[in-house]
Structure formats: C-alpha cells, structure tokens
Structure 1
Amino acid sequence: MNRIKAALQHPLVWPVLTLVLLILLDLSQNAHFLAITVLDGHWFGAPVDILNRAAPLVLVSLGMTLVIATRGIDISVGAVVAIAGAAAASILADDPSRVGEALAAALAVGVLAGMWNGVLVAFVGMQPIIATLILMVAGRGVAQLLTGGQIIPIGAPGYLIVGGGYLARIPCSVWVAIGAIAATALLMNRTALGMFIRAIGINPVATKLVGLRSSAIVFGVYTFSGLTAAIAGILISSNVRSADGNNAGLLLELDAILAVTLGGTSLLGGRFSLAGTVLGALIIQTLTYTTYSIGVPPEATLVVKAAVVLVVSVIQSATARTVIMRQLKRAFPYALKKPLAEAVK
C-alpha cells in the first residue's frame, strides 16, 4: 500500500495516465495508430507526426515553465513566434542564400523581446501579465509590419530543413526540441540556477534579503522565454514554408500555459517540472490529434480540449481527489477498504 500511495503522489503520474488514456482511445479508433513506416528513408506515422507538431509547443513551454516558476507569466510568446518567423522571412525574401543571417535575426528578435519583458518586470516592477500583454499586442503589429500584412513564402532549402527536414529518420524539429530539453534540464539540475528560481518563486522578498540577485535572474528567465519562442517561430515558419504575421503562434501562449500546469508546475511559483511540461505539451498535441481522429468538428475542438484540461486539472487537485474518494467510499463501503482509500489520498 505504501508503494501505491507513493506512486499516486508522484507529480508525473496523472500526466502519464492522461497521455496513456489518450493513446488507448486513439488505438480503439485506429489499430495502427502506433505503427511507424519508413518512406524515402524517413519515419512516418501518427507518433512521429505528434512529436513533430508538438516540438514548437515544447520549446515555448520550456521558457514558460521557468517564467511561471518565478511567479510570472508570459503571454507574449505567440507574438514573438510571429516576429521571429517574419524577421527570417523578410531577409530570405531578398536573398534565399542568407540562411545564417535569417536564423540569427530570428533568434535576436526573440532575445530582444524577452529582454524587453525582463526589464519591465524585473527592473521597472510592472506586473508580468501587463508587461507581456504590451508585447503581445504590439508584437503582433510588428510582425504584420515586417510582412506587410501578407503571407511571405519561404523557399530557401537551408532554412526549410530546420523545421521540415529529417536527421537519422527523425524530423529535425524533434531533435531541436530534444536538444533544448536537455540543455534546460542540465542548466536547472546541474547548476544552482534551478534552486535560485525555486527560491524566488517561493519567497521573492527573502531572496533579496539574503543577497540573491533576483532581478537579474528574473530578467534572464524572461530572456530565455523569448529565445525559446524565437526557436519555435523558426520551426513553425520552416515547417509551413511561410511567415504569417497575423496567424503564426496565435493562442500558442495559452497552450503553453496549459502544458505547464498539466505537467504539475505551480502557478504560485516555486515548484516546476520540466519533464511534466514536456508531458503536458504531448498531451495537448495528442488531444488535438484525437479530436480530429474521432470525428469531432473543428469548431468544437477547443471546447473538447478545455473540457479534458479541466478534468485533468481537477484530478490533480489533492482536495478534489479527497472529495472523490470520500464519495466513492460512501457509495462502495466494502469495496474500498481504509488502507486503499488512504493510499489514493
């Protein structure tokens, strides 16, 4: 019973169970859901497609995780995605061979956007949601100015391979996401930075009193969020072979926040899980695939997604689980013995 109790209390158990249930639902609709075939030396199949399309969300969610861990929020990441793609496309439109400059420009605008948010939050003292709301609105306008309000096609082969190419049979975007996950995990777990971020989220006043440069760390966290959003913008624009200042990254910030919360990161700060965030992103992308595969109308997809997220979030709540177990114990007094009920709490 102690093992059951420990397993149910693990922060990743509910995201894992949710993902498994979605996969089982897909398998019930399509027995070949997990099948992977090789075509032209590349892997193809639903799992590969889900991983490929989840890569930009994973990247944005990594930055969002660290921002939320410091009691912040960044709702401008969708606009930064659009700006990064527009900046790269603007350069490539003049000369398709300037791939290096296009990539550097996209990353630079992402870093600058993150630094702008960091200055407003860490040094000016503006509320995070207001500071990032400013860039969310203005950034979308900047992206449209860069594209002239049009969709700019991208035809540079060197750029298209980043989000649409393959390496060792696996989409390059998946490798980019894996690299970002590994680098972030090493930075958070092998250095003191992860502990500092948790400390700021738990008690920002105390961290200042002990001499920790919390403002610099918060500034760096928002800069990192801008960088991950810019990389996601590169992948998206490369994958769709165009830059759309109006629709690129639209509502991506909401999916990122959902992925972070589904993964067990506390919106109150101080507790975060990178592994949980990755699972949350995979849940959202798998859920999107599932809604289409079972025949849910496109206009109802967001409603279904919101309902599933609500159910998972309620299940993750310790208070909700206690209430549910109490009701189950009353309904089935002999089936649920005390040790089992205590283990599930």
Structure 2
Amino acid sequence: MSNEKKSFNWKAITQHRLFLPIVCLLVVLLVNVIKTPNFFAVSIKNGVLYGYLVDVVNRASELVIVAIGMTLVTAASGGQDISVGAVMAVAAAVCCQILSGGQVSTNELMNSMALAIIAAIIVAAICGAFNGFLVANLGIQPMVATLILFTAGRGIAQLITKGQITYVRVGSFKVMGGYIGKCPVPTPIFFAIAAIIIVNLVLKKTALGLYIESVGINGSASRLVGLNSTMIKFLTYVICGILSGIAGIVASSRIYSADANNIGLNLEMDAILAVALGGNVLSGGKFSIMGSVIGAYTIQALTTTLYAMNVSADQLPVYKAVVVIIIVVIQSPVFRRSVDEWKKKRALKNNKAMEGGH
C-alpha cells in the first residue's frame, strides 16, 4: 500500500504543470556545477550582493514583469503581444522627458517623480488599450494588431525624446534600477516580486483568472453563459501594457536614461519564450503565472551561463536557440505522449516476459 502511495505521489509530482519548468531551470543551473563552479558563489562587496545568481535574478526582473502580462494576453486571446518592448521604450521616454523637463540631460528633477511615473504608466495603458481594441473589438489577429506598435512604438518614443537619449542623472531616479539605501538586494527584484504577488492576488481573490481561461478556451461559449469576452480580452491587453510600462521605467532607471532604440529591444521574443517554457499553451486557455516566471528566470539563467562560459555576444543567440528548442520539445504535448506510450509498451513487454517466465 505504501509503495502504491509513493508511486502515486511521484506521478502526481511529475504531472504537475510546474514540474518540467522547474526541472528545465535546475538543469540550466546545474550545468554550471561542472563548467562554472563559482556560478553559485554569492558575496557582499561594499554592502551590495554580488554573484552570477544575483545577476540572474536581478537582470530577469523586467522580463518577469513583461512575461506576466504576456501570459494573460496569450491565455485570453490565443495570441501574443509583440509590442511590449516598444511600449517599454515609450513609457521610459515619457518618464524621462517629464523628469528632465524636455532637456537632453539633467542633474536635478524638473518635475515630480510621481507625476512622471503615473504619466508613463497611463501612456503604457493607452498603448495596451489600443492593442486590446484592435484584437477584442475589431477581431484582428493579435500578432498583426500588435505589429503596429511593434513597428511604430520606438518611433513614437523617438518623437517624445526628440531623437535624443534623455539622461536623468538623479539619485532618486536611479533607485528603481539600483539599490534602496543600504539594502544589498537590487531594487528591480522587489518590482518583480510585487508584480507577481499583486497579479496572483487579483487572479485568485477575484474570478478574473477563471474568466480569462474560459474566454481563451472557448470565447463563444463564454458569451453564451454571460461573460463579456470582448471586455476580458481588452482588459488583459491593458494590464499587459501597464506591466510593460513598469518594466520600461525600471529599465530606464538602470541606465538613468531613455534610450528608445535599446530599451526592451527583443524582450518580446524572450517574453513569449518564457510563456512557452512555463508550460503554457500559446493557443490560449489554461495558464500558469508562476510557470512563466520560472520560464523567465530560465532564459536569464541560460544567458548568464553562456556569458560565464565566455560565449561571445555574437554566438549567444545560436546556443540559446539550440537549448530553447530542446526545452520546448521536451515540454511539448506530442513528446510527452510519445514518452507515455513508450513507457506503456515497455511495461507491457515486461509483463509478458514475466508471464512467459512463469
């Protein structure tokens, strides 16, 4: 009985939706035990935490925030928002432009920090609402609808900053991408944690999570039972826009400037990968926020690992693509079904062999 219970528990663990994402993350980390033994070393220098692990958690913060929004959009609409990187750049441009008072560079705040942050988030929400209107109200494919801001977003950011990189060299602004006082933990990590907690609380304490899954699985059926599927899809794009705006503010604080050409560049691809690596179905329906978060950390761990192995920036995408393909294939339903069928055939063969022996 106890053996059956143990077997059942192990089966329940391996079939948990977070099992494979966690295993993939652990595999990427454990490679460093052989290749980069000092990867797991964490130290404090000048009152600040240092180490590869700290870099992984810190550098993945913006990706984690964006991946959460991408998960909701994917679950509700069965498509992806490829404009998140450009929305980050727009939010960063608005924030820095207000703080600098329109100057190219400033050593003091020309306007309130709260005003700049709120304005940046509102603009990001408007970008999300624009995408949501095209997808939910007009029925345009998500990839096509968000291609508009993907293409024009950085141009809008350039217009806001007048084609310049706007620098805000003020300590209070750098805090969001740096450190708070004597706290040794990088501030972006707290932003990522806050985003995870707040979104999870909203999804669990309200019926929004269930509504998103219902609309993603079958929008027509959801309408028949009284759900406003159009509004739910629209809302997920607004939330995605807001989270992208927050990520853009954090990213601009890291470099104390608004660089429209580089902030959030290619982050949309990593966000989609994070959703896929997290075990979420890209065609919509059931989703896992924590799966996407683990996927985001896996991607950053892979990037940091390759840098630690002295892989050049030019070669990085090749190695990264190979590893991601392997991970995605392992997590694919077809592969898992094939493994299950192989296990059943093997068990059947063993049973026949045992019966023949008797």
So what's the TM-score if we normalise by structure 1?
0.92
- C-alpha separation between the residues in 2 aligned to 1:253 and 1:30? 29
- C-alpha separation between the residues in 1 aligned to 2:201 and 2:114? 27
| Structure 2 residue 241 is matched with structure 1 residue 226 | yes
Q: 1:81 aligns with which of 74, 84, 88?
A: 88
Q: Match for residue 343 of structure 1? A: none
| Structure 2 residue 62 is matched with structure 1 residue 56 | yes
User: What SS class does the counterpart of residue 267 from structure 1 fall into?
Assistant: coil
TM-fit CA distance, 1:324: 4.9
- C-alpha separation between the residues in 1 aligned to 2:248 and 2:333? 37
- C-alpha separation between the residues in 1 aligned to 2:216 and 2:70? 14
- For residues 93-140 of structure 1, what are the alpha-carbon distances to aligned partners after superposition, in whole Å with 9 as ceiling and x for unaligned? 226322222212211111110111111112222221111111111111
Q: 1:140 aligns with which of 154, 163, 181?
A: 154
Change in Cα spacing, 1:2 to 1:107, as seen in structure 2 (3 Å) is: same
- C-alpha separation between the residues in 2 aligned to 1:266 and 1:207? 19
| Structure 2 residue 152 is matched with structure 1 residue 163 | no
Q: Match for residue 211 of structure 1? A: 226
Aligned amino acid, residue 118 of structure 1: G
Q: 1:10 aligns with which of 12, 16, 19?
A: 16
Aligned amino acid, residue 178 of structure 2: G
Aligned residues: 335
Q: Match for residue 283 of structure 1? A: 298
Q: Does the 8 Å CA contact 2:20/2:279 hold for their aligned counterparts?
A: no
| Structure 2 residue 143 is matched with structure 1 residue 129 | yes
Q: Match for residue 50 of structure 2? A: 44
| Structure 2 residue 40 is matched with structure 1 residue 34 | yes
Bigger mean CA offset, 126-135 vs 192-201: 126-135
Aligned amino acid, residue 315 of structure 2: A
- Structure label with greater radius of gyration: 2
- For residues 176-230 of structure 1, what are the alpha-carbon distances to aligned partners after superposition, in whole Å with 9 as ceiling and x for unaligned? 1101100000111121110000000010001111111111111111000000000
Q: Does the 8 Å CA contact 1:14/1:312 hold for their aligned counterparts?
A: no
Aligned amino acid, residue 14 of structure 1: L
- For residues 22-48 of structure 1, what are the alpha-carbon distances to aligned partners after superposition, in whole Å with 9 as ceiling and x for unaligned? 111123233222222122322222111
Aligned amino acid, residue 36 of structure 1: V
TM-fit CA distance, 1:326: 6.2
Q: Match for residue 295 of structure 1? A: 310
Aligned amino acid, residue 51 of structure 2: G
Q: Does the 8 Å CA contact 2:188/2:250 hold for their aligned counterparts?
A: yes
- For residues 63-113 of structure 1, what are the alpha-carbon distances to aligned partners after superposition, in whole Å with 9 as ceiling and x for unaligned? 000000012321100100111111112122226322222212211111110
Q: Does the 8 Å CA contact 1:42/1:166 hold for their aligned counterparts?
A: no
Q: Match for residue 199 of structure 2? A: 184
- C-alpha separation between the residues in 2 aligned to 1:44 and 1:262? 27
- For residues 317-341 of structure 1, what are the alpha-carbon distances to aligned partners after superposition, in whole Å with 9 as ceiling and x for unaligned? 23213435767999xx79x957xxx
- C-alpha separation between the residues in 2 aligned to 1:110 and 1:218? 17
Change in Cα spacing, 1:337 to 1:272, as seen in structure 2 (3 Å) is: farther
Q: Match for residue 26 of structure 2? A: 20
Aligned amino acid, residue 24 of structure 2: T
Residue identity over aligned pairs, in percent, reads: 43
- C-alpha separation between the residues in 2 aligned to 1:198 and 1:135? 26
| Structure 2 residue 157 is matched with structure 1 residue 151 | no
User: What SS class does the counterpart of residue 37 from structure 2 fall into?
Assistant: coil
- C-alpha separation between the residues in 1 aligned to 2:239 and 2:26? 31
Q: Match for residue 342 of structure 1? A: none
Aligned amino acid, residue 311 of structure 2: V
So what's the TM-score if we normalise by structure 2?
0.88
User: What SS class does the counterpart of residue 153 from structure 1 fall into?
Assistant: strand
